[in-house]
A = this chain, B = another copy of it.
């Protein structure tokens, strides 16, 4: 049920068992540094999303470079993060159901924990559980700012919910979550800027409404890797939830980037083996639907001009070779996943590579933490 570890420290890339999830450590560390530099001197905190990497080790490396804590989406992820020593976690999501709420409250006795709400019944349940356990849960009221998923309507409905939170034992109203997920993947700079700007306005208005009604709103949390320059430009968010910047993926590569962006680079790859060369122009690798996420399209073949990944099946990936391109029997290739988060969730191990050697092997501790 746990994958055998595909690599040992000191091995060469050729010795790594495939498919394996590789991290280019130079690029990964540069990404961490670029984010720290982008936020240096600004009045905004970084709370990167750990749903991307599911690793307390990476979370602590982010905190060592200035992040105030991390977010995650599931209580199971929060458990893995707290167990790995992360002291401050926002579950940037609704936690519904007695079992999950009990686990959340247990965590709040061990670390600084906060959660999002968009429903009065949920607030009542969270309060009852936290109060009974004698712990305090931080709470952000999640408002709908344009993505059409969760979140109470901004303005008056958000105020009603915020008041309920403020009056509920065991809960501490910390502010708002105003996350616009779909804006991360709007391709053009101008449209992305506009969507992020509208979301920021909505958030600012609701925060002002809270304050004019005597409710403090110290935190406005949201944002992502795709919207980072515009989130900074708008200047409304007090906490940035960007997560994908540590790795990037083929989908982020399709976004236009505005001038002055931090210049994050791809650091996450799949190492795959050419396992069949059935006819000229076609090769087959050992990485298919169970080795990569395809919701944002197929992976891109890394630095092999003329080679494209054209067809996944469950355990195979068919490659098309054009022009002079060729691949050898048993050769290893690098694939850049279409979407980093759900690809990471298929693996139990990161294999950290530097200068062609395995330097670190670390677990995807919250792999499979779906609940």
Contact = CB atoms under 8 A, between A and B. Distances in A.
A330 B122 CA distance: 9
Given A51-B315, A279-B153, A295-B294, A121 B329 contact: yes
Interface in A325-371: 329-330, 339, 341-342, 345-348, 363-365, 367-371
B313 A6 contact: no
Nearest to A283: B150
Interface stretch (A34-42, A94-102, A249-257, A301-309): A94-102
A20 B97 CA distance: 14
Interface in A73-94: 73-74, 76, 93-94
Contact of A3 (B6, B289, B369): B369
A214 interface: no
Given A1-B2, A3-B76, A76-B3, A371 B18 contact: yes
A46 interface: no
A290 B370 contact: yes
- Per DSSP, chain A at the interface is loop
Interface of A: 1-4, 6, 17-20, 51, 73-74, 76, 93-97, 99-100, 118-119, 121-122, 144, 148-153, 181, 273-279, 282, 284, 286-287, 289-291, 293-295, 311-316, 318, 329-330, 339, 341-342, 345-348, 363-365, 367-371
A97 B18 contact: yes
A290 B341 contact: yes
Nearest to A277: B119
A316 B149 contact: yes
10 contacts: A1-B363, A4-B371, A18-B97, A19-B370, A20-B371, A93-B316, A121-B330, A144-B279, A287-B370, A290-B370
A282 to B, nearest CB: 7
Assembly stoichiometry (copies): 2
A114 B51 CA distance: 40
Given A96-B329, A368-B347, A150 B17 contact: no
B100 A290 contact: no
A31 to B, nearest CB: 20
A281 to B, nearest CB: 11
Contacts of A367: 1, 368
A97 B16 CA distance: 10
Across chains A and B, which 7 residue pairs bring their CB atoms closest together, nearest first? A150-B276, A73-B315, A96-B275, A289-B342, A3-B368, A290-B345, A94-B275
A259 to B, nearest CB: 29
A87 to B, nearest CB: 22
Nearest to A275: B96
Nearest to A147: B313
Given A286-B371, A295-B289, A370-B287, A1 B348 contact: yes
Contacts of A121: 329-330
Contacts of A274: 96
A282 B119 CA distance: 14
B368 A2 contact: yes
Contact of A74 (B6, B315, B364): B315
A96 B365 contact: no
Given A93-B316, A94-B284, A295-B312, 19 more contacts: A1-B363, A74-B315, A95-B275, A96-B276, A118-B276, A118-B278, A119-B276, A121-B329, A144-B278, A148-B318, A149-B311, A149-B318, A151-B276, A152-B278, A286-B370, A287-B370, A289-B342, A347-B368, A347-B370
